[in-house]
């Protein structure tokens, strides 16, 4: 992480809220201020640049097979992007797997375009030096579900199974600190430093807000981050071994969190501190 | 040439509101790589907005502005359907100009 960028982000935060702070009483919390800051720049979310980049990549012929991803089936038929994210994860007959958006993109990039899985999964996340194609593609796809309600079906037994596995992982305590996701994310009204911790196990509202705001532009990193990245970083915070990109465990957790967010309008790509 | 900006302009009650999102690294010149080498300064120094040949905004930017800067300003006048042009120049001499049509 880049402390310089954090300082700058915090300065903007301080500047943008100083007027409000004078007018309001002292009950204005840090999270209120972050919320104000978020609102202020929400119609100027730099994630839009990543959406643009993703859209170009989607339409561009690439890989050894020199084809675009326009025939990629994200679950609503070949080439249908609109509303696809609101229904993922889903069971896919061709791969015989439950897949989230990123693992499905990986399937399309390997089967249609002819990339090898290793080429893509070696560095699946963006850095300040190098953007990530799969991540930008995901940003584009999620943007096409903006305003559409989350509706992940657990009718298929494999999806139901994935949900149950995700739930178990969410509550599974291990590692040097004996942490589970639930250690940090199953109590309401708590925070770490300035970050409110959503209660994704028992608060429907928290689960919905937490899920539907990702992928997101991280102001502190100057990068748009995917959901796989979010999970990866929480595994790190939990002092667990790094999960494999698009692995069954990460998809199961995504299924658990996405189903808990059902009914909420998808509002991403979002904006985070 | 830099990357495109996103510009949104709306006119209402004789005032035009312009929202600009720029793509720029905005390196301060103070940050170091993990190996200790200094990342050279690279930031926008000047932002200008023109409406029908008239400069409606002339601003100086510096190191304290964040990466991918967002700027909102208003000016008197401006008609729906007309164009507003925004340009920036950075300390390496690179520049970028983009236009937007004023909406209602």
Q: What is the pLDDT of residues A166-177, one digit of tens each?
A: 999 999 999 999
CA dihedral A249, A250, A253, A257 (to 10 degrees): -170
* Mean pLDDT value across residues A130-145: 96
- Domain A45-272, CATH number (from 3.30.1440.10, 3.30.1490.20, 3.20.20.70, 1.10.760.10): 1.10.760.10
Q: How far apart are CA A121 and CA A134, in angstroms?
A: 9
Structure tokens at A66: 């020199």
pLDDT tens-digit readout, A216-245:
999 888 899 999 999 999 999 999 999 999
Write out residues 57-76 of B within 8 Å (CB-CB) of A. 64-68, 70, 72
pTM here? Answer: 0.84
* pLDDT of A106 above 90: yes
Residue A234 annotated as catalytic:
yes
Structure tokens at A265: 């309008």
Q: Does A223 touch chain B (CB under 8 A)?
A: no
Q: How far apart are CA A251 and CA A58, in angstroms?
A: 22
pLDDT at A26: 56
Topology given in CATH for the domain delimited by B6-101: Immunoglobulin-like (2.60.40)
pLDDT tens-digit readout, B18-44:
999 999 999 999 999 889 999 999 999
Please give the full DSSP string across A111-150, using - where no structure is assigned: HTT---HHHHHSS-S--SS---HHHHHHHHHHHTTTTPBP
Count chain A–chain B contacts defined by CB atoms under 8 A.
Answer: 40
A212: Cβ contacts below 8 Å, ≥ 6 apart: A150, A261, A264, A265, A266, A267, A268, A270
Q: Is ipTM over 0.90?
A: no
**Are residues B6 and A43, on separate chains, in Cβ contact within 8 Å?**
no
pLDDT at A41: 67
Count Cβ atoms within 10 A of the Cβ of residue A261 and give its class: 0-12 exposed, 13-18 middle, 19 or more buried.
Answer: buried
- How confident is the prediction for chain A on average, in pLDDT? 88
Suggest the residue from B70, B96, B100 to mutate for an interface test with chain A (most A CBs closer than 10 A): B70
Q: Does A16 touch chain B (CB under 8 A)?
A: no
**Are residues A49 and B68, on separate chains, in Cβ contact within 8 Å?**
yes
pLDDT tens-digit readout, A54-70:
999 999 999 999 999 99
Q: Closest to B68 (Cβ–Cβ): which among A4, A11, A222?
A: A222
- The answer to whether the beta carbons of residues A70 and A59 sit under 8 Å apart is yes
Domain borders along chain B are 6-101
CA distances from A117 to A123, A251, B19 (A): 11, 17, 41
- The answer to whether the beta carbons of residues B98 and B8 sit under 8 Å apart is no
Q: How far apart are CA A175 and CA A52, in angstroms?
A: 40
pLDDT tens-digit readout, B69-99:
999 999 999 999 999 999 999 999 999 999 9
Q: Closest to A41 (Cβ–Cβ): which among B6, B67, B70?
A: B70
């Amino acid at each position: 992480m880049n402390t310089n960028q954090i300082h700058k982000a915090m300065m903007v935060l301080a500047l943008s809220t100083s007027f409000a702070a004078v007018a309001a009483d002292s009950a204005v919390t840090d999270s209120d201020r972050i919320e104000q800051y978020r609102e202020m720049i929400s119609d100027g979310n730099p994630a839009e640049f990543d959406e643009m980049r993703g859209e170009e990549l989607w339409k561009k012929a690439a890989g050894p097979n020199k084809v675009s991803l326009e025939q990629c089936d994200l679950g609503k038929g070949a080439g249908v992007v609109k509303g696809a994210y609101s229904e993922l994860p889903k069971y896919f007959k061709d791969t015989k797997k439950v897949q989230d958006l990123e693992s499905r993109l990986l399937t399309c990039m390997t089967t249609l375009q002819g990339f090898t899985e290793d080429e893509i999964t070696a560095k699946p996340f963006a850095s300040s030096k190098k953007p990530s194609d799969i991540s930008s593609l995901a940003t584009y796809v999620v943007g096409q579900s903006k305003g559409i309600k989350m509706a992940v079906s657990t009718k298929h037994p494999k999806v139901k199974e994935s949900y149950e596995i995700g739930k178990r992982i969410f509550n599974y305590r291990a590692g040097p600190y004996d942490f589970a996701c639930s250690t940090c994310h199953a109590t309401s009204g708590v925070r770490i430093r300035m970050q409110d911790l959503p209660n994704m196990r028992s608060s429907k509202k928290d689960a919905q807000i937490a899920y539907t705001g990702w992928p997101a532009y991280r102001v502190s990193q100057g990068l748009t981050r995917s959901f796989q990245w979010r999970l990866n970083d929480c595994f790190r915070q939990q002092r667990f071994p790094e999960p494999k990109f698009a692995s069954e465990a990460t998809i199961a957790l995504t299924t658990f969190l996405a189903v808990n967010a059902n009914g909420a309008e998808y509002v991403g790509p979002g904006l985070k501190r | 040439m830099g990357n495109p900006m996103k510009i949104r302009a709306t006119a209402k009650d004789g005032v035009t509101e312009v929202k600009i999102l720029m793509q720029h690294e905005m390196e301060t010149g103070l940050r170091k790589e993990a190996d200790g080498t200094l990342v050279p300064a690279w930031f926008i120094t000047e932002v200008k907005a023109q409406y029908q040949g008239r400069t409606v905004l002339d601003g100086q930017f510096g190191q304290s502005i964040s990466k991918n800067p967002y700027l909102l300003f208003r000016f008197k006048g401006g008609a729906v359907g007309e164009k507003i042009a925004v340009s920036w120049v950075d300390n390496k001499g690179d520049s970028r100009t983009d236009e937007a049509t004023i909406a209602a």
